[in-house]
Amino acid sequence: MDLKAIARGKLSLEAIPGERRAQVIGGSAAGLAVLVVVLLLVLTTCGGGSGDAGADQQVGKEASETPSKAVVSIAPKDGADGVATNDALKVTAAKGKLTKVEVADSKGEPVKGEIAEDGTSWEPDSHLTTDTKYTVDAVARDSEGRETTERSTFTTLTPKNKFIGHFTPDDGDKVGAGMPVSINFDRAIKDRDAVEEAISVTAEPEVDVEGHWFGDQRLDFRPEEYWAAGTKVTLELDLNGVESADGVYGTQKKSVEFTVGRKQVSVVDAKKKTMTVTRDGKKIKTLPITSGSPSNPTYNGKMVISERLKVTRMDGRTVGFGRDEGSGGYDIKDVPHAMRLSTSGTFIHGNYWTAQSQFGQANLSHGCVGLFDAKGGGDPGTPGAWFFNHSIVGDVVEIKNSKDETIQPDNGLNGWNMDWDKWTAEQ
């Protein structure tokens, strides 16, 4: 018997054979109860289930069509031009929380930043670059999980006034253990903190490296002690977009890497008139020298070789002396194997005009350290030639026991003469 058909009205009791119909109609109460239950189940399954599913679909459809309550705001406004590179970009959300913020320049380079813990704001980690178009894409979600998206584009300002930093050493250089990173700016820097924050110097193996300002146009970086041999140093200049003074912006974005080749320190004893050369902790040579005379003594202190010249002219007028010997001056057109130790004119160099017997015996110079050499510098066997050929920019010459004062730390690349506490003190 098809009870479902009966329940749906598609099969009447008359259609049931007489014997079965009698069983259904005249049967026991239990049989009738079974029939009633079956009919109720069929009606419930076929009618009620279908209606509930339709209602659920309708509710889901209405929910999906309800707009998100979250509101995303992007500053600067879409299409803005001449936007400042600092403190102008910010993304906020109201009645919801930010879930994604992506900012990139026209080349696809991303701008790093973080969404605040409460999800209501996002700011970049650092300044933007000048004359650059940026695109901002932001997504926020309300309490019901519904999303709001916003996109904005803007262009940063093109500065009329710019500054750059001239740095040493150069990318790829191999230098001595005393070489600092020195940056000389072509304009006075008023906001030193902003500029210094945009410059980093790191080393491998890792060592603490700190910067120190000498005036408002020079910034040097060094570790507490001389670099270890083999150290790899990286200078990152992220100055493009940094405002150093009102309306003056940096334009540099550059990475520079150099290597410390070895640790060579040469100690000049002005009293003993000797120089002892030590490399990586091992003494390799002691040479006789002549240093500054009693009337023109050589500076004491730690000095870094900043320049090497196989032959150069030395004119006393450039450092406050005359040209002729009678007035205590000099003008030597072919000084061999000269290496600069200070900006003010201190060199360690070859000397062919003084008798070889005087080296190690008398201090006769105008303040430089002299090593016996041949005119023209062509003899590789002289002390002057040997030291020149075994020195590189960044090597250290330490002078002691002279009658003069200690050299100033900004006179050349000689910041090693400043105590570390003073070097790192707030300026």
Give the residue numbers marked as catalytic: 349, 368
Give the span between the Cα atoms of 43 and 35, in whole angstroms: 12
- The four Cα atoms 343, 346, 351, 357 give a dihedral, to 10 degrees, of -170
Give the span between the Cα atoms of 336 and 368, in whole angstroms: 13
- 279 forms beta bridges with 264, 282
**Nearest one of 405, 383, 184, 181 to 297, comparing CA atoms:** 405
Question: Residue 364 is which amino acid?
Answer: L
**Nearest one of 210, 192, 202 to 250, comparing CA atoms:** 192
- For 218, residues 6+ apart whose C-beta sits below 8 A from its C-beta are 182, 183, 184, 185, 410
- Both ends of the chain: CA-CA distance in Å? 102
Max Cα-Cα span within the chain: 153
Q: Is the separation of the CB atoms in 17 and 53 below 8 Å?
A: no
Question: Residue 199 is which amino acid?
Answer: I
Q: Is the separation of the CB atoms in 315 and 338 below 8 Å?
A: no
Q: How far is CA 298 from CA 291, 293, 341, in A?
A: 6, 8, 11
